[in-house]
Structure 1
């Protein structure tokens, strides 16, 4: 198992490796495997890239994000411009119906509301808006229409995991509460952890995924 110092070094190295991130703007602290990122970044897309890069590192037990988006002057847009562009982007995004998601913008902070059939559609909408210039934050208030029994969701996730990595599925526990999936147990690599997370997010009825998996 990595020490906190080793984990800090690995996270910093991964942030340096990620081309979408300016690592010099991010401070990394680690305590008992919990990584905290702090600093000021130039876009929401960069913030999301930093989070994803950190989660790729083996040994990260949890992530605390204290990153603030400070848009450079040339990227500042009016709320009206952001709302107009965001609505256009959502209309052109595959998998979303014409008026499934509504947009509200205040000082660069975008709130998405509406109802979609599946969780992946909500995630697609958030990712599409997060890439726009001028967007400082995205809040997802999109409701998911299709819901399933917790036992069915858990069964589907475990079956999907076994199709991709049967050995790891035997050591992963899946619990479901009101559409929130919690993954716990141990895996042997970051890739196997990603398979587990992907299987959880792809299951019908899943609204959120809490990753408590430990990479040995």
Structure 2
């Protein structure tokens, strides 16, 4: 078995053995060591878990992620509604400096910017926003600026 096939099998097995991803069917292709993931999931949380699982597989380096989020039922929220929900959740998150976090919402795709003190805060912002039903994509461009 060649290296590409071995890597593909390792990635597929990692996804298959993640309990939260039981119902997920993701296509995995490997070409010259580059992994491409494609398919559809029903939540942003599942998409994030797939990314984490795949990146934890030994030998995985570059990953091209083409997974789409499509909810099982029709969750069409306006960008204004999503913006309000994001603002409310950020206010309720005591560990996040809401004044230094900026975002925009366009067609249910959230782009984050601003700065935080550490990686934990950056990941927490994304985790909080990924819990909102209706968010399809999160681009986390937040910069980590440790205190001097």
- Relative to the length of structure 1, the TM-score reads 0.59
2:3, 2:143 → 1: CA distance? 40
Residue 191 (structure 1) aligns with: none
1:95, 1:122 → 2: CA distance? 11
Residue 76 (structure 1) aligns with: 76
> Are 2:137 and 1:127 equivalent residues in the alignment?
no
2:9, 2:117 → 1: CA distance? 42
1:10-29 correspondence runs (5 A): 10-21=10-21, 22-24=23-25, 26-29=26-29
CA pair 114-18 structure 1, distance change in 2 beyond 3 A: same
CA pair 3-113 structure 1, distance change in 2 beyond 3 A: closer
* 2:101–2:115 contact (8 Å) kept in structure 1: yes
2:8, 2:144 → 1: CA distance? 37
Residue 106 (structure 2) aligns with: 106
1:109, 1:51 → 2: CA distance? 18
Following superposition, the deviation at residue 147 of structure 1 comes to 7.8
Q: Kindly report the root-mean-square deviation, in angstroms, between the aligned alpha carbons of the 2 structures.
A: 2.4
Q: Which runs of 5+ in 1 are unaligned?
A: 149-216
Deviations 1:94-150 (A, max 9, x none): 3212422233212111122333333432222122112221000112233444488xx
Q: Alignment length, in residue pairs?
A: 147
Following superposition, the deviation at residue 65 of structure 1 comes to 0.8
Report the 3-state secondary structure (helix = DSSP H, G, I; strand = E; otherwise coil) of the residue aligned with 1:99. Answer: helix
1:11-160 correspondence runs (5 A): 11-21=11-21, 22-24=23-25, 26-146=26-146
State the structure with more CA Rg. Answer: 1
Q: Which runs of 5+ in 2 are unaligned?
A: none
